[in-house]
Structure 1
Amino acid sequence: MLALRLWPHHRTLLAGLWVLVQLLFWRKFSGPHFVNDSARYLEYARGIAEHGYFEPGHNLRYVLYPLFQSLWLWLGLGWPGIVAGQLAVSALATRAIYRGTRRLAAGHRGAAALATLAFIAWPDIQQFNLFLLTESLFISLVALSFGAFTNIQNGWPRHWALLLLLLALTALARPNGFVVGLAAALAGLDALRRRADPRPWRAALLGLALLAPLLWVALNHQLATFYLMDTYQRGELIFRYQLWAVHQAAPLKLPPPGTGPAARVFYFAVHNPVYLGRLMLGKLFVFVSYLKPHYSVAHRVLGVLLLWPSYWLAARGARRAGIWRPARVFLASVFLLQTAIIMLTVDDWDVRFLAPVLPVVFVLATLEVSNLVSITSHARPEG
């Protein structure tokens, strides 16, 4: 069979496919793609490159991306240099998906190849490499963090150092970038909880209790420039899109003036539980369904036929005992934490918020596919 003859060269073929996909998107967008939020990132980057000025306020929550852009602007390479840098990091991320999945699959290359193929071929992931937006860097950092996380099984200090560095960079890429570090922390807590010696687990809980005030301050800082009450009052499931909205059945009880950002959300939840519940369920559907109102029928069908089964397979993979448990907790937590954030905030008209966590879905799904194929092949009677 042709597939068997090509299999020894599958990594070369995947690399070639990755290059082809980038060229196709370059042609589609005629080079670097400037869109809605690109202006503010580029303006911030120019301020860093020319004056070393880091703008305070909302944009500081995305500081890594303007800093990344400023390097290429300082070198005089402009937009093509920025995109070239994004492509280079994406290439490393693609390798991390392959290697990380292979580690979790006990060295088997089938699952690694399938996860990498999904990462390369899914159009709403690779296209962001041409966008002058944070998504390309954020997606790549999520993938690189995954690869680094699977490598700490070896226990070498350099692997831990690389993971911590990548988690810090991911947290600086977007306001929600902390979810990757939080997912790693949850995986670590789960590992401590399952130890025979309970003392490390208790020490970790004590540390969390002591850090709680600092974490509360950090949460308020992140939420300070997001006007969630406005989106709640408008009933938005998608930002600034009123055709899909939840309408109030009764006047809403809003937090009093002076209430902190995080406390406002808690106040609203306590006093408007049914309305907020409807909002959150609506946002959950919009976020995971892939049925965005602006998408073509073909785009929606693609999501239903391929992405929905991937969710089911990923859920099964997350419970598969044969996969290293900390990685399962990490991957599942990345997706669930991102989903929770969208349910409490608001989704976008496209999949900018879903694309960064699709790699973890594809990894878990392909690990489950690999397991099912292995079970089927072992169950097949000898001829």
Structure 2
Amino acid sequence: MTKKIHLSIISFILKKPILLLNLAWIIVNLGLFHEYGIRVVHDSHRYIAYANSIKLGTPLWHLSDSIFYASYSVILYIFLHVLTLPIYAVIIFQTITSAIALICFYKTIINLTANRITAFICSSLFILWPELHMWNLYIHTESLYVSITIIILYLLTTRFWHIRTLPLLMIILIVSVFLRPNGFFLVLGAIISCAVYIIKKSNLRLTINQLLFPLAMVLAILGYGATEAFEVYSPLQYLLQGQVLQGYNAFTIPIEAPPLIESQSVFRQMLTVFFNQPFNYFKLILMRFLLFWAQIRPYYSFSHNACIILFFVPVYVAAIYGFWKTRLNPKYLFLSVVIVLQTVMAIAVAVDWDNRFIVPILPFVFIFASIGFNSYFRFTNATKDI
């Protein structure tokens, strides 16, 4: 009897997965809107000022510290000044884009695993974690950045990406670069993913020596990008204050500021701090890493932290198992590259107080977790080669 019920549930899920997922997504988003409404917070006013700058013809929106938010500034300008719509129109746009991303997310898992149960598990994890959808209600870059990340992954995993979707992929990648300063992570992940795809498709067998040059080029680009980013968005303040969580002084690692030369680059000043007290620096980096992935916060309520632990402990365990199962499969390279780069950025700069730095990579974690769950429990429609 129990087996028949189990099979009938699976059969229904396989027949109407998108319908069920969309209904759940609508319920979650309506519940969040009812609870929190539209959120215009500190950074929101900065983005609105950039949009006003475009209208007034002033350079504020394309200065060195604002140009990498230009995509969002233009979107706000179009809605608020060209179409003269109220602020909630932007929220509707972000929410619709998030709905499109959910469909792309489900189809991405189908493209990756050819397994509808895995796709349903993964999409369910995505829907069930409310902090992913809360950002749809904010005048902030997070919602669109998460949606664009998923759409890029979908385009990369679609079977005919190189013929039909390459122009669209390139446009979206350009938009992502100017949506957030870490948008170039998506570009780098896409380049590496496409390069591996082309190498595999051409049956090229490269030696270690032949791989050293492109690897050195990638590291050089990363190094240059990090150095330039540090000059604009300097993490030195958070480092010298020993902040594990950005803007939170109740939990710090003691860092003694050595004599610094202001004419030197921020990166060299950070190296000076590191060589002056490597133990404390490593301790700071370790604590940032742990809190970045744990997501719990000392100022959250007990119930909030408990929900995070109960939800993410099994997800992380399954994700590690899923990653191990797919570690040799180049289809998952984009996910791994972006996860690593986003983690390095967070621990180098400072872990944000509201967990928003981890939000863009949670869908990727859910992909690995769903593969892990399905590989372990071996649901119907499981595939051997994922």
Which of 259, 266, 270 pairs up with 1:261? Answer: 266
Which whole-Å CA distance do the structure 1 matches of 2:218 and 2:338 have between them?
Answer: 22
Partner of 1:86: 94
Q: Check 1:262–1:126 CA distance in 2 against 1; reply closer, same or farther (3 A cut).
A: same
What's the CA shift string for 1:125-184, capped at 9, x where partnerless?
A: 001101011111111111111111211x43532233333333332222111222222223
2:123 is aligned, of 116, 121, 126, to: 116
Distance 1:6 1:163, change over 3 A: same
| Aligned mates of 1:197, 1:312 — CA distance in 2 | 34
Are 1:34 and 2:40 counterparts? yes
Query: Which amino acid in structure 2 is aligned with residue 80 of structure 1?
Result: Y
CA distance in 1, matches of 2:308, 2:234: 31
**Residue aligning to 1:381:** none
Gaps of 5+ in 1: 379-383
Determine the C-alpha separation between the residues in 1 that align with 2:117 and 2:160: 22
Residue 15 of structure 1, CA deviation: 1.0
Aligned twin of 2:346:
342
Q: Please, which moves more after superposition, 10-19 or 129-138?
A: 10-19
The separation in 2 between residues aligned to 1:216 and 1:301, in whole angstroms, is 38
Which residue of structure 2 aligns with residue 302 of structure 1?
Answer: 307
Cα pair distance change 1:269/1:133, threshold 3 Å: same
Q: Distance in 2 between matches of 1:52 and 1:324?
A: 50
The residue identity in structure 1 corresponding to 2:179 is: A
Could you tell me how far apart the structure 1 residues matched to 2:229 and 2:284 are? 21
Paired residue secondary structure (2:249): strand
Distance 1:136 1:155, change over 3 A: closer
CA distance in 2, matches of 1:163, 1:136: 19
Q: Distance in 1 between matches of 2:295 and 2:218?
A: 38
Amino acid at match of 2:239: Y
1:226–1:190 CA distance, 2 compared to 1 (3 A): same
Does the CA-based 8 Å contact 2:116-2:381 persist in structure 1? no
| Whole-Å separation in 1 of the counterparts to 2:364 and 2:336 | 7
What is the aligned-residue RMSD (CA, Å)?
Answer: 2.8
Structure 1 residue ranges (4+ consecutive) displaced by more than 6 angstroms after TM superposition = 210-214, 375-378
Residue 318 of structure 1 contacts residue 329 of structure 1 at CA under 8 Å; is this kept in 2? no
| Residue 294 of structure 2 corresponds to residue 289 of structure 1 | yes
- Shift of the 209–191 alpha-carbon distance from structure 1 to 2, 3 Å rule, reads same
Correspondence for 1:175: 181
Q: Which moved more, 1:12-21 or 1:37-46?
A: 12-21
How many residues matched?
A: 371
- TM-score of the two chains, using structure 1 as the length reference: 0.87
Q: How far is the alpha carbon of 1:376 from its aligned partner?
A: 9.3
Q: Are residues 1:235 and 2:239 paired? A: no
TM-score by length of 2: 0.87
The answer to whether 1:60 aligns with 2:64 is: no
Q: Deviations over 1:305-339 (max 9, x none)?
A: 22122122212212224x88223222122222111
Moved more, 181-190 or 124-133: 181-190
Contact 1:331 1:364 in 2 (8 A): no
Residue identity over aligned pairs, in percent, reads: 24
Alignment partner of 1:197: what SS?
coil
Report deviation, 1:272. Answer: 2.9
